[in-house]
């Protein structure tokens, strides 16, 4: 290879590397900002779902789940397929009064996100005149469709009571399943 071609190739590669390295921090900052925005939108969506359960708002619950939703609900014994199947399992016999998301992790993979969280909620049991507190863990699957995040699937399960052999502090959390009054909200 002649010196002129080699020098020209070297300059081209050097310029490309220089431009790429200069653009990388800006691209990385944009990617971080987009990820944070995606996480915030998904957090807001999850809170919107919980609030719809408190409000007993079937229309909002349906609107926050895709037509092709697939997954496992708390009361289901098998796979729930489709929005109609999901909504068939939504009831308000013991309406939710309050909820707290205790821990959450969002992993965004392009236009798909996987959300892991644990939550606690309080429902009022009219027949017992007491509040029931339940703990659940969930893995939600989100997809960006038409520029918006929507839940397309979940695996929701109640966290079982620990066995007596487990840590006492952990057991205390679960001993308060039925309460005469709802505890105050955490700050």
Determine, yes or no, domain membership for 175. yes
The pLDDT score that the predictor gives to residue 173 is: 45
User: Position of tokens 């429902």?
Assistant: 123
DSSP 44: H
Whether 73 contacts 154, CB under 8 Å: yes
* Strand locations in the chain (E): 65-72, 80-81, 96-109, 112-125, 130-145, 148-158, 178-179
Q: For the chain, how long is the longest CA-to-CA vector? A: 91
The domain of 22 spans 3-179
Determine, yes or no, domain membership for 157. yes
The pLDDT score that the predictor gives to residue 148 is: 95
Determine, yes or no, domain membership for 86. yes
User: Position of tokens 């925005």?
Assistant: 37
The pLDDT score that the predictor gives to residue 131 is: 84
Determine, yes or no, domain membership for 186. no
Determine, yes or no, domain membership for 64. yes
The pLDDT score that the predictor gives to residue 92 is: 82
pLDDT in tens, the chain (187 residues): 555 545 565 555 554 544 455 555 565 555 556 777 999 999 999 999 999 999 999 999 999 999 999 999 987 789 999 999 999 989 888 888 999 999 999 999 999 999 999 999 988 888 888 888 889 999 999 999 999 999 999 999 988 766 655 555 554 444 446 566 666 677 5
Whether 86 contacts 65, CB under 8 Å: yes
Determine, yes or no, domain membership for 185. no
What is d(CA 59, CA 54) in angstroms, rounded to the nearest whole number?
Answer: 13
Sign (positive/negative) of CA torsion 156, 160, 166, 168?
A: positive
Domain count, the chain: 1
Determine, yes or no, domain membership for 30. yes
What is d(CA 133, CA 159) in angstroms, rounded to the nearest whole number?
Answer: 11
DSSP 94: S
Q: Which long-range contacts (CB under 8 A, 24 or more apart) does 138-141 make?
A: 139/114, 139/115, 140/46, 140/114, 140/115, 141/71, 141/112, 141/113, 141/114, 141/115
Whether 113 contacts 44, CB under 8 Å: no
Nearest CA-CA partner of 136 in 73, 69, 62, 46 = 73
Query: What CATH number is given to the structural domain containing 140?
Result: 3.10.450.50
Determine, yes or no, domain membership for 82. yes
pTM over 0.75: no
Whether 173 contacts 183, CB under 8 Å: no
The pLDDT score that the predictor gives to residue 117 is: 97
């Amino acid at each position: 290879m002649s010196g002129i071609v080699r020098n020209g190739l070297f300059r081209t590669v050097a310029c490309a590397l220089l431009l790429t390295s200069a653009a990388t921090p800006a691209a990385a900052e944009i990617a971080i900002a987009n990820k944070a925005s995606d996480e915030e939108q998904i957090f807001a969506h999850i809170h919107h779902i919980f609030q719809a359960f408190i409000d007993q708002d079937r229309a909002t619950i349906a609107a926050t789940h895709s037509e092709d939703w697939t997954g496992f609900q708390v009361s289901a014994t098998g796979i729930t397929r489709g929005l109609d199947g999901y909504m068939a399992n939504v009831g308000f016999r013991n309406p939710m009064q309050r909820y707290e998301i205790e821990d959450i992790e969002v992993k965004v993979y392009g236009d798909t996100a996987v959300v892991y969280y644990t939550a606690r909620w309080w429902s009022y049991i009219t027949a017992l005149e007491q509040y029931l507190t339940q703990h659940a863990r969930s893995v939600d699957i989100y997809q960006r469709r038409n520029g918006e995040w929507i839940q397309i699937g979940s695996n929701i399960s109640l966290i079982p009571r620990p066995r007596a052999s487990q840590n006492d502090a952990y057991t205390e959390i679960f001993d308060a399943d039925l309460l005469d009054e709802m505890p105050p909200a955490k700050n």
